[in-house]
């Protein structure tokens, strides 16, 4: 994936700078809160911890806090760039810890190359952290540092550069060997790269059954052999063999497995052809592997290949390891991460790859089939089951080997892990990957806006959509140059000079002539970019329309309502927002944008359409019809209106989980529902909230965003026969991308009856035109 320098710098510089922040987990809004958070109340837990040091895990954040420690001497592929320059990477590591395992991180950059100073700094920080993740420290110093910290500290210490790749690739190796029918103790393995990761991988493979004498390791000076002195150290010496092979090409003759952690394109097709039948090739150099995937497969069709890249099968990504390994270690308060815990993580990943892959995971990677085999030997990073499988396996191994200070019931622990899984990022990524599966022509009515142009670049780069920009061609080209964008693949349409203008004008006149529009007025109206874009969708020249970043909602949606019919059987459109809470819960709110005073029939229609839309996100809808009354507690025409709506929905879709009328707080609180209203069908609480009026819905979603700190995706326009979606004014680039993906998926799902043609397009009459127009 192409990432431009400007995009990366803007991403990191946007306020607040960097990628991490500290968020209070306790309220601090009153004098009493302040007195509890700090003096005098804070003295009480201090004294309790003094009395019993183990209580630090109960009264502080230590149990969920990891230090990511570096000195910047071996940062990614950048080398020795120093502690401060390595900070963005360490913050990124913290983001991954939080995103995948809900672990908090402080990144610690130490301005020293002295291993003893790093060791001492970590030892002094032991009271603060539940674990230490060593990162990007060069070999051989990293070996000394980790060994001494593991010997002297009573919290888990883990050097991810060494063990992360070993654990993940070890799972891939076990499964690859099973597929080709070979045994670990019989295969010959060649390693290219004798740094921290290469040596750790070799040692881990030996624990998995590979025999020491069957390993040949190479570095930049060739094979490690007995008697070699150039570039050797005590750690490399352990893998020096009695052999007459001297080069990587020599080593690969007859080898069963190649493992590369070295440099791009150092393996040739000829070398691959000298390997044993059914070779296993793990080419892990980043960003370009030791041999390109397509070249390797062409040279050896029988190869099983893995890389570190996400655009090829079998990605070996360390994010499959460290977050979940620390999760399991922290949750049992382990004093170390031992070899048994690493093996447990490897075997859990290998076993998970053989399980049936959920549809949501397949859709996230835009594939119809994903099952155990040559192109799927390891789970994918966005498979949320990895947290449960790996963390629980690591915790179990810690308890069985005596390094856990706290025992957990594994069944209950898995339930806890399940609750940690948030839906927010998962939903947006699933939507993007769905769009990538079959990109559609997406019209942007505000094609001259810089945010739209920047989003367009992302849509092109990631293959999410085929953007069509309405605007002045020269202005768009100039803006693209100023923004360092490459939009050659985006189609630009200038309405005034479009060859379709006469046809569109005549079509608009025919559709609106009995609505008071003259032919001359139609000629002027069609030049409105929103009207022109809607006509493109109507005429089948585009698949979806997105606009609104610089306009008010009515100005954006009205032209589309005047041209595009509603779905069959519907009387009006409605707007829905996806709300994602700071804790990752997801709710859908409707109607928040269109219908001011909906009737019972309108509310029922909105509820049914919202439920159908929510299912498109792979979420089962649980619908609450909201009011100020709970199940008849207050008799009033407004609450009775909602009651009637519930009855209508149940008649039309008896299988939909829906109830009401119900107050909002009760609807989302399972405990209250189960204790006070046991007859309510929403036992687990509602995730789709249908408001009795536009006023209520609009106020609610804006308060949730501004006061509640929630993220919102939308508005999602429901009910149109063809995909038309609206951005909120001032939307950010990421929001434009998300809404674009949603519009594309809407088109894929057949929101429209299929691409129209000038010959076959249905011609709305005055009677069929949307009532909201």
Residues 661, 645: Cα–Cα separation, whole Å: 9
Q: Which residues pair with 281 in a beta bridge?
A: 258, 305
**DSSP code of 665?**
H
Residues 543, 528: Cα–Cα separation, whole Å: 19
* Helix-strand-coil split of the chain, %, nearest 5: 45, 15, 40
Asked if 93 is an active-site residue, the reply is yes
Torsion region of 181: left, alpha or beta (phi above 0 gives left; psi -120 to 50 gives alpha): left
Token look-up 């909105």 returns 606
Task: State the Cα angle at 539 between 536 and 544, rounded to 5°.
Answer: 50
The one catalytic residue in 62, 87, 93, 451 is: 93
Torsion region of 187: left, alpha or beta (phi above 0 gives left; psi -120 to 50 gives alpha): beta
Which residues fall within 8 angstroms of residue 83, CB to CB, at 6 or more apart? Answer: 70, 71, 72, 109, 110, 111, 112
Query: Are the C-beta atoms of 716 and 513 separated by less than 8 Å?
Result: no
Residues 619, 573: Cα–Cα separation, whole Å: 22
What does the DSSP assignment read for 427-496? HHHHHHHHHHHS--EEEETTTT-HHHHHHHHHHHHTT--EEEEES-HHHHHHHHHHTT---TTSEEE-GG
- Comparing CA positions, the residue from 324, 292, 322 lying closest to residue 414 is 324
How many Cβ atoms sit within 10 Å of the Cβ of residue 618?
17
Query: Are the C-beta atoms of 598 and 576 separated by less than 8 Å?
Result: no
Residues 282, 261: Cα–Cα separation, whole Å: 9
The one catalytic residue in 38, 116, 515, 683 is: 38
Bond preceding residue 591 cis, omega within 30 of 0? yes
Sequence-ordered alpha helix ranges (H) in 526-652: 529-538, 553-563, 600-615, 637-652
Residues 300, 298: Cα–Cα separation, whole Å: 6
Residues 484, 504: Cα–Cα separation, whole Å: 34
Query: Are the C-beta atoms of 357 and 427 separated by less than 8 Å?
Result: no
Q: Is 695 exposed, middle or buried (0-12, 13-18, 19+ CB in 10 A)?
A: exposed
Residues 161, 320: Cα–Cα separation, whole Å: 13
Q: Which residues pair with 222 in a beta bridge?
A: 219
Q: 249 to each of 56, 271, 273, 345, how far by Cα in Å?
A: 55, 6, 11, 33
Which residues fall within 8 angstroms of residue 410, CB to CB, at 6 or more apart? Answer: 392, 395, 396
- Comparing CA positions, the residue from 674, 587, 570 lying closest to residue 624 is 587
Q: Active-site residue numbers?
A: 38, 93
């Amino acid at each position: 994936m192409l990432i431009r320098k400007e995009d990366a710098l803007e991403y990191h510089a946007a306020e607040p700078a960097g990628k991490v922040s500290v968020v209070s987990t306790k309220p601090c809004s009153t004098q009493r809160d302040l007195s509890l958070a700090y003096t005098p109340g804070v003295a009480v837990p201090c004294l309790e911890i003094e009395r019993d040091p183990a209580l630090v895990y109960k009264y502080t954040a230590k149990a969920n806090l990891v230090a990511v420690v570096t000195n910047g001497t071996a940062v990614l592929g950048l080398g020795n760039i120093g502690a401060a320059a390595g900070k963005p990477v360490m913050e990124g590591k913290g983001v991954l810890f939080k995103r995948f395992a809900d672990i908090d991180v402080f990144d610690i950059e130490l301005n020293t190359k002295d291993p003893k100073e790093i060791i001492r700094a970590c030892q002094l920080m032991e009271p603060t952290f539940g674990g230490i993740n060593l990162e990007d420290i060069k070999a051989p110093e990293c070996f000394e540092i980790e060994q001494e910290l593991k010997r002297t500290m009573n919290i888990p210490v883990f050097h991810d550069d060494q063990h992360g790749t070993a654990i993940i690739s070890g799972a891939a190796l076990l499964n690859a060997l099973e597929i080709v029918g070979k045994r670990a103790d019989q295969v010959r393995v060649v390693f290219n790269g004798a740094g921290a990761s290469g040596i750790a991988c070799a040692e881990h493979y030996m624990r998995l059954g590979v025999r020491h004498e069957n390993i040949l390791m190479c570095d930049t000076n060739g094979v490690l052999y007995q008697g070699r002195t150039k570039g050797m150290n005590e750690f490399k010496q352990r893998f020096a063999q009695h052999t007459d092979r001297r080069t990587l090409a020599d080593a690969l003759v007859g080898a069963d497995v190649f493992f590369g952690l070295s440099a791009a394109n150092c393996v040739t097709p000829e070398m691959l052809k000298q390997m044993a039948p059914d070779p296993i090739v793990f080419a892990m150099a980043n960003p370009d592997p030791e041999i390109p995937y397509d070249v390797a497969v062409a040279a050896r069709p029988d190869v099983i290949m893995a890389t570190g890249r996400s655009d090829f099968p079998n990605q070996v990504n360390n994010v499959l390891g460290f977050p979940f390994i620390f999760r399991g270690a922290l949750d049992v308060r382990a004093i170390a991460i031992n070899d048994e815990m690493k093996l447990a993580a490897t075997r859990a990943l290998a076993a998970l790859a053989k399980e049936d892959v959920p549809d949501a995971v397949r859709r996230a990677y835009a594939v119809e089939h994903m099952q155990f085999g040559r192109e799927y030997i390891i789970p994918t990073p966005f498979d949320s089951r990895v947290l449960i499988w790996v963390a629980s396996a690591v915790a179990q191994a810690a308890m069985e080997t005596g390094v856990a200070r706290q025992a957990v019931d594994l069944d209950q622990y898995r339930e806890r892990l399940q609750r940690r899984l948030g839906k927010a990022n998962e939903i947006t990524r699933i939507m993007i990957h769905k769009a990538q599966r079959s990109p559609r022509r997406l019209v942007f009515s505000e094609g001259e806006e810089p945010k739209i142009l920047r989003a367009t670049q992302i849509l092109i780069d990631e293959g999410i959509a085929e953007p069509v920009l309405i605007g002045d061609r020269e202005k768009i080209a100039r803006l693209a140059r100023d923004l360092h964008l490459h939009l050659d693949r985006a189609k630009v349409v200038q309405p005034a000079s479009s060859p379709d203008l006469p046809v569109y004008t005549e079509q608009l006149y025919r559709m609106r002539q009995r609505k008071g529009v003259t032919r001359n007025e139609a000629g002027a109206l069609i030049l409105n970019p929103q009207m022109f874009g809607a006509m493109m969708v109507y005429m089948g020249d585009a698949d979806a329309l997105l606009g609104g970043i610089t306009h008010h909602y009515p100005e954006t949606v009205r032209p589309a309502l005047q041209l595009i019919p509603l779905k069959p059987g519907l009387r009006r459109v409605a707007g829905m927002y996806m709300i994602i809470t700071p804790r990752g819960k997801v709710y859908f709110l409707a109607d928040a944008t269109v219908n001011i005073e909906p009737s019972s029939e309108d509310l029922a229609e909105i509820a049914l359409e919202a439920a159908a839309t929510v299912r498109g996100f792979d979420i089962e809808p649980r619908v609450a019809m909201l009011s100020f009354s709970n199940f008849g507690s207050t008799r009033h025409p407004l609450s009775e209106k909602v009651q009637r709506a519930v009855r209508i929905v149940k008649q039309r879709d008896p299988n939909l989980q829906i109830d009401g009328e119900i107050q909002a707080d009760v609807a989302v609180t399972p405990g209250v529902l189960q204790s006070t209203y046991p007859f309510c069908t929403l036992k687990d609480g509602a995730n789709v909230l249908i408001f009795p009026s536009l006023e209520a819905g609009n106020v609610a979603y804006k308060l949730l965003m501004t006061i509640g700190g929630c993220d919102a995706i939308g508005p999602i326009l429901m009910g149109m026969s063809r995909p038309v979606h609206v951005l909120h004014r001032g939307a950010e680039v990421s929001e434009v991308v998300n809404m674009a993906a949603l519009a594309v998926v809407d088109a894929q799902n057949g929101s429209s009856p299929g691409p129209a043609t000038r010959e076959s397009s249905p011609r709305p009459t005055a009677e069929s035109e949307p009532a909201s127009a």
